[in-house]
């Protein structure tokens, strides 16, 4: 893997992911950039059946267009009692233009009447790192939790307000960004990315 121009492009248009990933990777010694800063306007169709497939699609597309080493993230929520839903459909589970609140409300409605001890879930993140002409390296992170019966906390985004972490006694949206990054699926995957990049930069 070769880091062109000592620059790493975060291959996403999601503002929440950009914010978290920028913080997580800030001490790498690389210039962290994003599509908007590079004048890139690209929406990649997430046609894969798995997080891995979608992460690769996005990393390759942004890397090819920008000529830069690109890091993508495909992640979502898996609820056991729903047979792993919403999974790769997490962002579109409540419809293509649903807000974060819409997604939370829709999932809670699907789980109405399900007891707390059967609401086990996990956030899963797959990151793909791609340099032009040099293939893709994959990293994965998982965070286990339980879907709470009501939203709590002002922070985070997506399903964070209803993702309860027993070890911390709090929902993910109640955590500081530092606490969240230390245990989240994206934080775990990013740590693996940092270890890999530190070994080659």
> Distance between CA atoms of 181 and 175, rounded to whole angstroms?
9
Q: Is residue 83 flagged as an active site residue?
A: no
The tokens of 16 are what?
């929440």
3-state class percentages of the chain: helix first, strand second, coil last, to nearest 5: 40, 25, 35
Instruction: Report the phi/psi class of residue 173: left, alpha or beta, with left for phi > 0 and alpha for psi in -120 to 50.
Output: alpha
Q: Which residue has the tokens 């080659």?
A: 200
> Distance between CA atoms of 6 and 110, rounded to whole angstroms?
46
Helix (H) / strand (E) containing 176: none
Which phi and psi (to 5°) does residue 122 adopt?
-150, 150
Q: Which member of 27, 73, 74, 100 is catalytic? A: 74
Known catalytic residues?
74
């Amino acid at each position: 893997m070769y880091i062109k121009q000592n620059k790493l492009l975060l291959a996403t248009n999601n503002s929440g992911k950009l914010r978290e990933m920028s913080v997580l990777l800030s001490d790498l010694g690389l210039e962290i950039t994003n599509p908007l800063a590079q004048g890139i306007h690209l929406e990649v169709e997430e046609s894969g059946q798995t997080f891995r497939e979608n992460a690769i699609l996005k990393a390759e597309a942004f890397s090819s267009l920008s000529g830069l080493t690109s890091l993508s993230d495909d992640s979502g929520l898996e609820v056991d009692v729903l047979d792993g839903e919403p999974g790769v459909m997490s962002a579109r589970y409540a419809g293509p233009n649903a807000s974060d609140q819409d997604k939370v409300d829709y999932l809670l409605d699907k789980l109405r009447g399900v007891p707390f001890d059967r609401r086990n879930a996990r956030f899963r993140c797959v990151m793909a790192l791609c340099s032009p002409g040099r293939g893709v390296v994959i990293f994965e992170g998982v965070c286990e939790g339980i879907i709470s019966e009501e939203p709590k906390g002002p922070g985070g985004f997506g399903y964070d307000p209803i993702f309860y972490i027993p070890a911390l006694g709090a929902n993910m949206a109640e955590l500081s960004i530092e606490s969240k990054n230390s245990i989240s699926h994206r934080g775990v995957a990013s740590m693996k990315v940092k270890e890999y990049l530190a070994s080659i930069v």
